[in-house]
């Protein structure tokens, strides 16, 4: 147990079951079988079955549901949130769906945070998948509860179940005055070993009280605003020590020797230990393993930091000491000019170029990027007697559990408990559990002493899983009116797969399916190719992943083509998208099978009608075409990502000195059916600020195998003075389409819209990010 500060209210599956049976609660469970179908079960309220199920819960053999809902005799309704809260509001949105479908009063709801457990399905809170993957599952869980409660009430009233409904935590019968609280139905609940799927019916959307409405605020808002929210660094265990780690400067570097004598003289420093490096555990690739280095263990963070400063270390830099990101970019740019591996082919690009009236080509580059979430990585661990328990701000507790199994060599995954705290931002960084592995390793090496491993900002920026750098080369064959009849695009970047296998030397179908192989333009001849690249760095996924550089290149290039043709960029782009249609992706090579963000194309097709509607909406909202004073310009971009359609229009002023002022950003999203409009607006508003940071400043460079940057002085974030001054976010109502992604789609079109606006204001075209590299004076 923690002492002092307590973690967010969390739940372990067996303890949850025990407490529910002990309190005489009605427990509703919804599990996902191998076929992905919902199975609904209800625990028996009879003494005999309570005892049997409590025993089963204790040994984990006879009862293994995925529990989402518990109704107490007090009237309290507990709903399990199995995804991680990092400011997106997902701990609110998914339980909200359950509550609405079951007819619960939100005021009665308490949310419990799930530990890592494969029975919940995926808990990896990234990829903008939470609502779209679990909307139907949450509805099924809530609907099951509603139907079972109505069955109990109907029996009491001798009424038909279909004639009963739920509202504000009551079941209401067909006759006047028939109304029973959920809590009053617990005692009469009977056993249903299985509720057939055919019995599960959903409410009509017009009956929704919470879904799609503005009636529910962020569940954790008060705690976040008041400081009561519990993040990773807030966890305190009895006897806990603090550790900071001096990691090897290069990825494959090693420790030749170290002297800890001065460090041990620092008051509060208790021990210095050497940690195993990832390449001693897996020589092929770093994966999610700990980086390696020297851990200084102390009674408090300050002593640990001072002790680390006092270490004397001699490093062996390894094979990567000569690596330069500048040289890599030159190599990737050169590679992008040559033939690559075919990814998609529509028509015949080479033949179409022969009849083209003119051509235009350009190369766009984006550097490595760091996540730099406001809360640096931190984890608390206690490893003893073959068991491990950790507390961490993790986006993926299951990956942590699996990696800890590998590193600690604990055969039984259930002996590893991963508790999830609130996250102070994530952006994909905290789905990689290397920092959690570090805490567990230190605790084990200290014989079971609980340890908090705290990263500094410098650690965070220098030892990240970086968003990969890229070079994108585009070429178009144009007709007499300047419209493309042939389109070539080559994408070159170190692949995410290289973090897991040394054999991965070019982008995968998954990465190329992120805004590259699915180009939705009305061009008859399209050819997409990928080139090889490799870098000695941990490559990971950052908010929007490869959409960041694919959208930057494509949306910038279309703007260039519009100006070359002497056309209005909005009108040109609208024509280039073409008439509403479903894009045919049969030209994508089988080796690079189009992933569609893991969803079937039949359910989520690439729909140019929705794309063009987003473009039209943002142009109207931004007042496209209005007169602007000299030095100001409007830029526009539109992009499909994570199954959503987002258009962005930026109004920028570039002073004669070159200073960029972002006066206004208009952003529009079509994300299908929207569960929580307030959170959607917050996400796309935040995407404008995030996108501005990447465009203005984002740049991780590497020299001699090490990262050059180390804090916000040289890896800057957008601050108040240079953030977009006005942001107008609009949600396109599309309730007939299933929910799509929200957390990431707002980012990709922002940088090109901003750079297109800069061109409109100054006539200077930006093809290399970040903007801080350029002299924009005029």
Domains of the chain: 10-226 (3.30.365.10), 233-319+377-454 (3.30.365.10), 325-370+465-773 (3.30.365.10)
Question: How many other CB atoms are found less than 10 A from the CB of residue 564?
Answer: 14
The pLDDT, as a whole number, for residue 686 is: 97
- If DSSP codes are grouped into helix, strand and coil, which group holds residue 78? strand
- Is residue 209's pLDDT more than 50? yes
More confident residue, 42 or 351: 351
pLDDT digits (tens, 9 = 90+) for 524-544: 999 999 999 999 999 999 999
Strand partners, 245: 295
Confidence of residue 8 (pLDDT cuts 50, 70, 90): low
Q: What number is the average pLDDT over the span 369-383?
A: 98
DSSP sequence for 562-588: HHHTT--HHHHHHHHH-SS-BPP-TTB
- Is residue 231's pLDDT more than 60? yes
Buried-exposed string 736-752: b where 16+ CB fall within 10 A, e elsewhere: ebbbbbbbbbbbbbbbb
Q: What number is the average pLDDT over the span 498-518?
A: 98
The pLDDT, as a whole number, for residue 703 is: 97
Q: Where are the beta strands (DSSP E) in 18-164?
A: 26-32, 38-42, 67-71, 77-81, 109-114
CA distance 147 to 192: 12
Look at the block and give the residue holding tokens 């290397």: 434
Q: What number is the average pLDDT over the span 336-342?
A: 98
CA distance 515 to 640: 7
User: H helices within 24-129, ranges in order?
Assistant: 47-59, 90-102
Confidence of residue 226 (pLDDT cuts 50, 70, 90): very high
pLDDT digits (tens, 9 = 90+) for 128-172: 999 999 999 999 999 988 998 898 899 999 999 999 999 999 999
CB 432 within 8 A of CB 540: yes
DSSP sequence for 268-286: TEEEEEEEPPHHHH-TT--
Q: What number is the average pLDDT over the span 344-365?
A: 98
Q: What number is the average pLDDT over the span 4-31?
A: 48
- Is residue 45's pLDDT more than 60? no
Q: What number is the average pLDDT over the span 718-727?
A: 96
Report the range of poorest mean pLDDT among 2-16, 127-141, 312-326, 587-601: 2-16
The pLDDT, as a whole number, for residue 60 is: 30
Q: What number is the average pLDDT over the span 429-433?
A: 98
Q: What number is the average pLDDT over the span 97-101?
A: 97
CB 688 within 8 A of CB 727: yes
Print the SS3 string covering 203-225.
CCHHHCCCCCCCCCCCCCHHHHH
- Is residue 657's pLDDT more than 80? yes
Question: How many other CB atoms are found less than 10 A from the CB of residue 46?
Answer: 12
Buried-exposed string 367-394: b where 16+ CB fall within 10 A, e elsewhere: bbbbbbbebbbbbbbbbeeeebbbbbbb
Look at the block and give the residue holding tokens 């994108």: 472
- Is residue 33's pLDDT more than 60? no
Confidence of residue 200 (pLDDT cuts 50, 70, 90): confident
Q: What number is the average pLDDT over the span 453-472?
A: 98
The number of CA neighbours under 13 Å toward the Cβ of 502 is: 8
CA distance 767 to 500: 31
Rg of the chain on CA atoms, in Å: 28
| % of the chain residues with pLDDT over 70 | 90
Q: Which of 462, 203, 492, 141 has the alpha carbon at shortest distance from 343? A: 492
**Residues 332, 334, 335, 340, CA torsion sign:** positive
Region of residue 168 (phi > 0: left; psi between -120 and 50: alpha; otherwise: beta): left
- If DSSP codes are grouped into helix, strand and coil, which group holds residue 336? helix
Report the range of poorest mean pLDDT among 36-50, 78-92, 703-717: 36-50
Q: What is the mean pLDDT of the chain?
A: 91
pTM of the prediction?
0.92
> Residue 644: enclosing H or E segment and its boundaries?
strand 644-654
- If DSSP codes are grouped into helix, strand and coil, which group holds residue 736? coil
CA 154 to chain centre: 43
The pLDDT, as a whole number, for residue 202 is: 95
The number of CA neighbours under 13 Å toward the Cβ of 397 is: 31
CB 546 within 8 A of CB 493: yes
Look at the block and give the residue holding tokens 């500060």: 5
Share in percent of the chain as helix, strand, coil (round to 5): 35, 25, 40
- Is residue 770's pLDDT more than 60? yes
The pLDDT, as a whole number, for residue 256 is: 94
> Residue 152: enclosing H or E segment and its boundaries?
helix 130-157
- Is residue 458's pLDDT more than 90? yes
- Retrieve residue 180's tokens: 């029973």
Q: CA-CA distances (angstroms) from residue 752 to 77, 477, 648, 714? A: 47, 22, 9, 23
- Is residue 191's pLDDT more than 60? no
- Is residue 623's pLDDT more than 90? yes
Sheet holding 632-641, edge to edge: 632-641, 644-654, 660-670, 726-731
Burial class (CB in 10 A: 0-12, 13-18, 19+), 210: buried
CA distance 320 to 764: 37
CA distance 398 to 29: 20
| Pairing assessment for the beta strands 10-11 and 109-114 based on DSSP bridges | parallel
Main-chain dihedrals φ then ψ at residue 240, nearest 5 degrees:
-70, 140
The pLDDT, as a whole number, for residue 39 is: 29
Element counts in the chain: helices (H) and strands (E): 18, 32
């Amino acid at each position: 147990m923690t002492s002092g500060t307590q973690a967010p209210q969390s739940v372990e599956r067996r303890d949850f079951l025990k407490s529910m049976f002990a309190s005489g609660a009605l427990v509703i469970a919804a599990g996902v079988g191998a076929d992905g179908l919902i199975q609904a079960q209800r625990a028996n309220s009879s003494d005999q079955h309570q005892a049997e199920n409590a025993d089963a819960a204790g040994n984990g053999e006879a009862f293994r549901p995925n529990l989402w809902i518990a109704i107490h005799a007090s009237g309290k309704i507990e709903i399990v949130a199995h995804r991680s809260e990092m400011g997106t509001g997902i701990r609110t949105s998914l339980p909200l769906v359950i509550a609405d479908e079951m007819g619960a009063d939100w005021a009665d709801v308490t949310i419990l945070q799930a530990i890592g457990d494969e029975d919940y399905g995926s808990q990896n809170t990234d990829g903008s998948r939470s609502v779209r993957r679990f909307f139907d599952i949450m509805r099924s869980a809530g609907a099951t509860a509603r139907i079972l409660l109505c069955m109990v009430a109907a029996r009491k009233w001798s009424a038909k179940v279909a004639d009963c409904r739920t509202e504000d935590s009551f079941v209401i019968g067909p006759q006047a005055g028939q109304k029973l609280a959920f809590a009053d139905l617990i005692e009469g609940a009977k056993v249903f070993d299985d509720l057939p799927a055919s019995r599960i019916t959903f409410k009509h959307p017009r009956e929704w009280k919470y879904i799609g409405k503005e009636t529910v605020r962020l569940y954790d808002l008060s705690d976040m605003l008041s400081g009561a929210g519990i993040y990773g660094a807030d966890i305190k265990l009895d006897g806990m020590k603090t550790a900071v780690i001096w990691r090897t400067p290069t990825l494959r570097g090693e420790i030749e020797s170290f002297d800890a004598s001065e460090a041990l003289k620092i008051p509060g420093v208790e021990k210095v230990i050497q940690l195993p490096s990832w390449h001693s555990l897996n020589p092929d690739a770093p994966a999610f393993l700990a980086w390696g280095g020297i851990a200084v263990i102390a009674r408090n963070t300050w002593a640990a930091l001072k002790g680390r400063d006092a270490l004397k270390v001699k490093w062996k830099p390894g094979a990567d000491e000569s690596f330069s990101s500048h040289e890599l970019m030159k190599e990737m740019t050169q590679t992008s000019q040559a033939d690559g591996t075919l990814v998609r082919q529509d028509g015949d690009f080479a033949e179409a170029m022969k009849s083209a009236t003119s051509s235009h080509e350009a190369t766009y580059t984006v550097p490595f990027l760091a996540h730099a979430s406001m809360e640096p990585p931190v984890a608390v661990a206690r490893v003893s007697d073959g068991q491990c328990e950790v507390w961490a701000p993790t986006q993926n507790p299951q990956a942590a559990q699996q990696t800890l199994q590998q590193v600690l060599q604990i055969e039984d995954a259930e002996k590893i408990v991963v508790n999830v705290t609130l996250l102070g931002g994530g952006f994909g960084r905290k789905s990689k559990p290397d920092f959690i592995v570090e805490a567990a390793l230190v605790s084990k090496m200290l014989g079971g002493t609980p340890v908090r491993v705290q990263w500094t900002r410098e650690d965070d920026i220098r030892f990240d899983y970086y968003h990969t750098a890229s070079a994108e080369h585009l070429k178009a064959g144009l007709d007499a009116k300047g419209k493309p009849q042939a389109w070539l695009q080559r994408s070159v970047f170190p692949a995410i797969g290289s973090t897991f296998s040394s054999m991965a030397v070019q982008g995968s179908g998954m990465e190329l399916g992120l805004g590259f192989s699915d180009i939705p333009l009305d061009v008859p001849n399209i050819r997409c190719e990928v080139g090889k690249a490799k870098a000695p760095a941990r490559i990971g996924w950052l908010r929007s992943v490869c959409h960041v550089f694919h959208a930057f290149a494509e949306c910038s290039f279309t703007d260039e083509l519009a100006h070359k043709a002497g056309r209005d960029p909005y009108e040109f782009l609208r024509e280039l998208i073409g008439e509403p249609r479903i894009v045919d992706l049969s030209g994508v090579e089988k080796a690079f099978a189009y992933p569609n963000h893991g969803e079937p194309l039949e359910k989520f097709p690439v729909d140019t009608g929705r794309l063009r509607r987003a473009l039209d909406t943002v142009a109207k909202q931004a007042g496209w075409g209005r007169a602007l004073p000299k030095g100001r310009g409007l830029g526009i971009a539109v992009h499909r990502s994570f199954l959503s359609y987002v258009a962005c229009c930026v109004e920028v002023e570039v002073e004669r000195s070159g200073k960029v002022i972002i006066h206004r950003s208009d952003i529009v999203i079509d994300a299908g059916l929207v569960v929580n409009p307030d959170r959607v607006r917050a996400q796309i508003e935040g995407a404008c600020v995030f996108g501005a940071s990447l465009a203005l400043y984002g740049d991780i460079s590497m020299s001699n195998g090490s990262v050059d940057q180390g804090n916000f002085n040289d890896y800057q974030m957008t601050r108040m003075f240079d953030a977009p001054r006005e942001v107008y976010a609009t949600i396109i109502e599309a309730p007939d389409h299933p929910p799509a992604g929200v957390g990431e789609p707002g980012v990709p079109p922002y940088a090109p819209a901003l750079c297109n606006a800069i061109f409109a204001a100054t006539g200077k075209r930006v093809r290399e990010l970040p903007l801080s590299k350029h002299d924009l004076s005029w």
